[in-house]
Structure 1
Amino acid sequence: MALIIDNRNSIPGPGVHALIVGVSDYKNLRDFNDTPVEPQWFLTTLTSGASSAFAISQLLLRDKCRLPLKTLRLLLSPHAEELTKTPAIGASGASPATRAALEAMALDWRTDAEKEKDSITVFYFAGHGLQRGPEDGVGLLEDFRPDNGPPLAKSFEVGDIKNGMAPSDTRPNIAMTQFYFMDACLTRPETQKKFVGVQVPEVFGAELSSIEYRSAPLMFSTVGGAIALGREGQPSHFAEALTLAFDRAAEDPIDDGAGNTVWPVTSLTVKNYLDYYYAKLNLGTQVTLNGIVGTPVLRNLTDPPSVDMSIEVQPDALGNGYNLWLLDGNDAPTPPCTPAALKKVEVTIPAGIYRVKVDAGLLRVSPYRSPPKWVTQKVAGPWRHNLQPLLNG
């Protein structure tokens, strides 16, 4: 049942193969409302892991990638609170996110991915996680149990998943563009350190790879040693930001070779947008980008992406009697903005060429018109205009 979308026969050629996993209801951990205890590594159930993964699955179902979605495998273990807030999770057809289910689905996912070099794979995990090395993030699955048997027997290493997806003599045609997202904490519980040589079972038996030329960025939702940013009963901040990044995180426009102008969304612009989102909400962390990165294109926007722009006008001596406009490339106000006593304005606008116009009686020459500026996500920081030298007297 975890194969939610199967377009392998209806869509010829390359496409997107996605494996999405979200865990909130850990069967062997205390509820999130209860006091965490040392034998369970002070971990409890979650209320955003399954919601986050479900949100990303819905994003992919809207064909947001540059290739059509061919397969979508979905493993979810939702908390009751998530099912109450988002009943669609329960009707999604997903299988529980157990270790056995992940093994079976990952093998099938890889089998589909190895048929077309030009395909794209997407792996996303949301749930409890641990850090063991720079790329060795460990995801804990529904049946994780640290107090009975090998503590990490029901978990996986994202590095193992990634290594098992490398091209090899057996799989020379595996998808060469691969995206990995780990929406999990990168902490190392003190209780884990009392175990000697804790092992995480392999999902894949990684073969000796041929020359490595994948574009395979691995994005962690936080930095090493930090806690992921869940939201009770809702998708995490990482999932929310990633959803927005699909529509906003774009490079400057290019010609797609067929005479069309497109705005590529790449691994780097996604990372930059996620950091911008975190900073805007003062979340106190950043995204970590590892892996064989390059700048693989996740999707191509056919329209200018939306950009969050901050405009600041100084000095305070301008007083209350002035108006401010943001003009587009046709000199039209966009959006209409004529506030009084406004020193800073936050707007969301399509990428493009803009200039600022300020009408103030204290200016020697009014209105002031700024030079034009090309505004994209890469230059969307505060646009400051110091008009002190232009004041009368």
Structure 2
Amino acid sequence: MALLSILPDHPGPATHVMVIGVGSYPHLNGGSGPLAAENWNLRQLSSAPLSAQHFIQWLVKEYQNPAAPLASIEHLISSPHQVADAAGNLHESQEPIMANLYTAYKDWKKRAGSHPDNIALFYFCGHGLYNNNGTALLATDFADPEVDRIALNAVHVEGTVNGMLSCAARRQCFFIDSCRSVKTSWQEMMDSPGQPLGTAGVKNLSAAQQPIFYATGPTQVALAPAGEVSLFTKSLVEALQSLAAVNPDGDFINGQWVVDTSRIEEGVNTAIKMDLALRPWLEGPECYFGGSGKHFNLHHLPGRPAVPVVMGWDPSDLNQRASFEIHCAGAMVAQRPYVPPTPQPLEPWESRQPPEIYQVKAVLDNGYMVARQLILQPPMKRAIFTTPVVQPPHPPV
């Protein structure tokens, strides 16, 4: 067991988490062997352990839910990666081989099921495959040539989610950061898309809310640059920090901002698009929602979220001839002053501000100005200005 026990004696409802990050695959390309006869071009993953650690650090440092505070994190991350607690102490994780996943799942499910108002969170980052029967998440010992059944050391996502219906926790949420690739030879060899970590009978089933957030749609490939946190996990944390926030009572200034699971998909996709706009040579799929049941409040922000405001011109080459300003209640709160032209065109300017009513202004170098009012709230607001004619710059003095 590798467990961060944060509130071991908490008597009431709490949040219990299971985090899996698989970067080491001994039987796939680049592994320590023995290698599988068929490896489907799957390699070692440097991003997956980093992504799992990134998600854990958000949980430890920022997650808040007064009705169900964070109580435990079961973590299985490929070595040599460790997990830091709130005090910065490092804890050894556990190898995410299939046997360990079964044991950790059983313990996590038991803790999560200790109270019906608990929240159960499940996170996975690693290789994934897909067929018409669902999504398979590959454990470290996947494709062991000594194992006859190719799908034995893989987790069937949808079966595992169904198995959690026998858990008393009524609020459950699953984050699946993996490809959902279709490999013809793999489909021909497998007898199922992995194994459910648990099952549910026909009795004592809970009416659980079970949203699932996949990094990709069926048959698609996820994006995880080597040595970096994956695009999905990076965007997920941004969504949880601010982009998926909502204020139920409409009080932008004094109201409580929360992340409702109904807003996570839009928040993640907004973060993905903003990231890829700065790295146009990369391509990434959008977050894909699945699961069942009603949505619920997952996380409470400590204050107002920082919401992106993106300002620019159309045509975009005017960006390097412009200054941008953001005003609130008559005072300027942010500015990008005019920058002398550079060989590389400037991207639209981004500033992050709390939800509020703002006046934004864009001024070209010849004095041509456009201003407008905008109401800023998550996930973001884009203000792209246009000019009816091409504005010549001031002649040189």
> Normalised by the size of structure 1, how large is the TM-score?
0.82
Q: How does 1:59-70 map to 2 (within 5 A)?
A: 59-66=58-65, 67-70=68-71
Corresponding residue number in structure 2 for 1:142: 140
Corresponding residue number in structure 1 for 2:120: 121
Q: How many residues align?
A: 371
Corresponding residue number in structure 2 for 1:310: 310
2:184 aligned with 1:221: no
Q: 1:312/1:211 Cα in 2 relative to 1: closer, same or farther (>3 Å)?
A: same
The structural deviation recorded for 1:362 is 7.2
In the alignment, is the contact (CA less than 8 A) between 1:40 and 1:147 conserved in 2? Answer: no
2:106 aligned with 1:107: yes
Q: 1:254/1:19 Cα in 2 relative to 1: closer, same or farther (>3 Å)?
A: same
Corresponding residue number in structure 2 for 1:201: 195
Corresponding residue number in structure 2 for 1:274: 268
Q: How does 1:168-187 map to 2 (within 5 A)?
A: 174-187=168-181
Corresponding residue number in structure 2 for 1:50: 49
Equivalent position amino acid for 1:74 in 2: H
In the alignment, is the contact (CA less than 8 A) between 2:124 and 2:176 conserved in 1? Answer: yes
> SS of the counterpart of 2:92?
coil
Could you tell me how far apart the structure 2 residues matched to 1:297 and 1:350 are? 20
Tell me how large the CA RMSD over aligned residues is: 3.4
Could you tell me how far apart the structure 2 residues matched to 1:48 and 1:357 are? 40
The structural deviation recorded for 1:215 is 2.1
> SS of the counterpart of 1:194?
helix
The structural deviation recorded for 1:196 is 6.0
The structural deviation recorded for 1:327 is 0.8
Equivalent position amino acid for 1:163 in 2: N
The structural deviation recorded for 1:57 is 1.4
Equivalent position amino acid for 2:136 in 1: V
Equivalent position amino acid for 1:73 in 2: E
Q: 1:146/1:187 Cα in 2 relative to 1: closer, same or farther (>3 Å)?
A: farther
The structural deviation recorded for 1:30 is 2.8
The structural deviation recorded for 1:69 is 0.9
Could you tell me how far apart the structure 2 residues matched to 1:160 and 1:345 are? 45
Corresponding residue number in structure 2 for 1:351: 355
Could you tell me how far apart the structure 1 residues matched to 2:145 and 2:59 are? 37
Could you tell me how far apart the structure 1 residues matched to 2:210 and 2:319 are? 53
Equivalent position amino acid for 2:376 in 1: V
The structural deviation recorded for 1:291 is 0.6
The structural deviation recorded for 1:209 is 5.9
Corresponding residue number in structure 1 for 2:330: 331
Could you tell me how far apart the structure 2 residues matched to 1:71 and 1:147 are? 35
* Gap runs ≥5 in structure 1: none
Q: 1:301/1:199 Cα in 2 relative to 1: closer, same or farther (>3 Å)?
A: closer
> SS of the counterpart of 1:150?
coil
Equivalent position amino acid for 1:244 in 2: E
Encode CA deviations 1:17-38: one digit per residue, 9 max, x unaligned: 000011111122231799x986
Q: 1:91/1:214 Cα in 2 relative to 1: closer, same or farther (>3 Å)?
A: same
* Gap runs ≥5 in structure 2: 341-345, 392-397
> SS of the counterpart of 1:262?
coil
Corresponding residue number in structure 2 for 1:24: 23
Could you tell me how far apart the structure 2 residues matched to 1:158 and 1:352 are? 41
The structural deviation recorded for 1:267 is 2.1
2:233 aligned with 1:235: no
Equivalent position amino acid for 2:195 in 1: P
Encode CA deviations 1:183-236: one digit per residue, 9 max, x unaligned: 111012122133263463332122226676422111111122122212222321
Equivalent position amino acid for 2:159 in 1: D
The structural deviation recorded for 1:339 is 2.2
> SS of the counterpart of 1:382?
strand
In the alignment, is the contact (CA less than 8 A) between 1:250 and 1:377 conserved in 2? Answer: yes
